Structure 1
Amino acid sequence: MATVDLFAIGNALIDQEFRIDEQFLQQHALQKGTMQLADAETQIKLHTSLIATQQYKGQASGGSAANTTVAFSALGGKAFYACRVGQDELGEIYLQGLSEAKIQTSEKSLSTGITGTCMVLISEDSERTMQTFLGTTADLSSLQIDFSPLTQAKWLYIEGYLSSSDSARAAVLQARQLAKENQVKIALTLSDPAMVQYARAGLDELLGDGVDLLFCNEQEAMMYTQTDHLAAALTQLQALSQTVVITLGAKGALIATADEQFQVDGRRVHAVDTNGAGDAFAGAFIYALTAGQNLQSAAELAILISSEVVAQYGPRLALADYAKLMQKSQQDKVAV
């Protein structure tokens, strides 16, 4: 197997997207802007109601870390994705999508059970609310992960959604140890306010004694640090990571290290769907770092890519669009 730059671990989910009204969220007791776990029966009931009453926008291979890995690979990086899917039609679709994005996977990823699904509900204000049936990925463990590519990687990327699974956390701890033994940098995303609220102890375990790069949005940052002030949240998070990146939506992103702190402005677009925006941001940011760019340039590329994701339905761009946007970013810098 060829050497990879990024080794990512996360849940494998097929997204079903729907444009919905606010009343629908209330009717189904869904907390806007968060992810909620559900069993198979509850997922089927929600899907049936969505099909009958709301606007279907399409299906896409998803999963937070997978979206990040796709962005990283489409920009030119070499990546491996460790996950678990069922030996069913959705599992085949999922792995085929990764293959088309030139992302390496392992035969170990194919397992018993049903491939997970995520109902992605897009409100009129573009905010995404999710209900997830994890399926077989709920039992992701080290048995489904080929750790060999990690020993030569530059980055290990950990999805915060794994904080709710005992077996997945154990696999992540194994990956963290291997990364440290081979001088591989570690990045982690808090993923979702719901993970901070309901799986805080699991996130603490994933963070361990700290990481090299931490991604979160403004709400997650303040929830995790239990403060109402972003500056105070940033100070606390810096004790957990050498570099902290807090995304601020349309306001851009705040980046901090021990030596510097700065904010990069956002990019104005017509937002229709925020699903996958943070994932794309992380993928572009890490790619830029592996390509030798500084934090400022990495944030600028990440904002460009993620803002384009927000301007369309679905968690990923067409594969060719990532490279086109990177070329545009480079041309804009030359013009300046």
Structure 2
Amino acid sequence: MATVDLFAIGNALIDQEFKVSDDFLIQQNLQKGTMQLTDGDTQAILYSNLQASQVYKGQASGGSAANTTVAFSALGASAFYGCRVGNDDLGKIYLDGLNEAGIQTAKQSISEGVTGTCMVLVSPDSERTMHTFLGITAELTDQQIDFAPLASAKWLYIEGYLSTSDSARVAVKQAREIAKANNVQIALTLSDPAMVQYARQGLDELLDDGVDLLFCNEQEALMYSGASTLDEALVKLQSLSKHIVITLGEKGALIHNNEHTFTVLGRKVTAVDANGAGDAFAGAFLYALNAGFNYKTAAELAILISSEVVSQFGPRLANADYALLLQNFQKECA
């Protein structure tokens, strides 16, 4: 298998996106802005209710780390995605979708079982609420991951959603060991406030003795650190990573680059759908670092890409759009 710049591990989920009302979220007892795990039967009932009363917006090969990997790849770098899908139609759709985006996958990712799904519910304020049936991805193990490309990769990227799976955490531990043995930098995202609240022990295990780069949003940073201010949170998070990126929504991002802390202002857009914004930010940021950009310029590119994602429905842009945005960004920086 060819050498890649980014080796990512994450859940494999087919996203089904709907535009929903706030009343619908209340009726379904869903906590707005978070991810909630469920079983297959409950997911089927919700899907039926959504089809009957809400607005369907589309389907994609989703998962947090997958969205990040797509942005990274579409901007011009190479990537591999380690995951687990079922030997079913959705599993084929999932892997085909990643391959069409230029991302390498392995045949061993396919196993008996049902491919997971995520109902992505976008409310009028553009906030996304997720209802997830993990399916076979909940049982991701090292047996479904081809670790060969990792030894020569530049980055290992881990999504915090894996914190809920005992077997996935074991696979991540193996990936971390390979990365450290080969001087591959490790990046991790906390992924979701629900992971910090309900799967804290799992996140601690994924982080282990620390990472090279930590992504989180403001709420996750405060919750994980137990701090009351972002300045205090940054100090506490430095025990886990020398490099920290805290996304602040429309306000931009707070960056701690080893010894220096600075803010990069956001970009004003009309928000339509927040789903995938943080994932796209991480993908663009990692691409920029891999391309030799400094942390400030990387954050500026990441804000540009993620703000465009927020401006439309769905967690990803068309592949050609990433390249065009990068081209225009480089012209402005020249």
Q: Quick check: 1:91 aligned with 2:84?
A: no
What displacement does 1:278 show?
0.4
The CA distance in 1 between the partners of 2:123 and 2:228, in whole Å, is: 26
1:173 aligns with 173
What displacement does 1:230 show?
1.0
The CA distance in 2 between the partners of 1:323 and 1:242, in whole Å, is: 30
Please report the RMSD computed on the Cα atoms of aligned residues, expressed in angstroms. Answer: 0.6
1:138 aligns with 138
1:105 aligns with 105
Residue 156 of structure 1 aligns to a residue whose secondary structure is: strand
2:27 aligns with 27
1:309 aligns with 309
The CA distance in 2 between the partners of 1:282 and 1:258, in whole Å, is: 18
Residue 255 of structure 1 aligns to a residue whose secondary structure is: strand
The CA distance in 2 between the partners of 1:238 and 1:299, in whole Å, is: 19
The CA distance in 1 between the partners of 2:36 and 2:150, in whole Å, is: 31
What displacement does 1:87 show?
1.1
The CA distance in 2 between the partners of 1:330 and 1:202, in whole Å, is: 39
1:240 aligns with 240
The CA distance in 2 between the partners of 1:111 and 1:319, in whole Å, is: 29
Conserved in 1, the CA contact under 8 Å of 2:197 and 2:223?
yes
The CA distance in 2 between the partners of 1:96 and 1:148, in whole Å, is: 21
Listed as ranges, the matches of 1:1-336 within 5 Å are 1-334=1-334
Q: TM-score, normalised by structure 1?
A: 0.99
Residue 103 of structure 1 aligns to a residue whose secondary structure is: coil
Q: TM-score, normalised by structure 2?
A: 0.99
One-letter code of the match for 1:96? D
One-letter code of the match for 1:272? V
Conserved in 1, the CA contact under 8 Å of 2:305 and 2:322?
yes
What displacement does 1:332 show?
1.6
The CA distance in 1 between the partners of 2:107 and 2:61, in whole Å, is: 18
What are structure 2's unaligned runs of at least 5 residues? none
What displacement does 1:228 show?
2.0
Conserved in 2, the CA contact under 8 Å of 1:238 and 1:257?
no
Conserved in 1, the CA contact under 8 Å of 2:257 and 2:295?
no
Residue 134 of structure 1 aligns to a residue whose secondary structure is: strand
One-letter code of the match for 1:170? V
What displacement does 1:101 show?
1.0
What whole-Å deviation, never above 9, does each CA across 1:157-194 have from its counterpart, x for those lacking one? 00000000000000000100110000000000000000
Query: How much identity, in percent, do the aligned residues show?
Result: 71
**Number of corresponding residues:** 334
Residue 328 of structure 2 aligns to a residue whose secondary structure is: helix
One-letter code of the match for 1:100? E
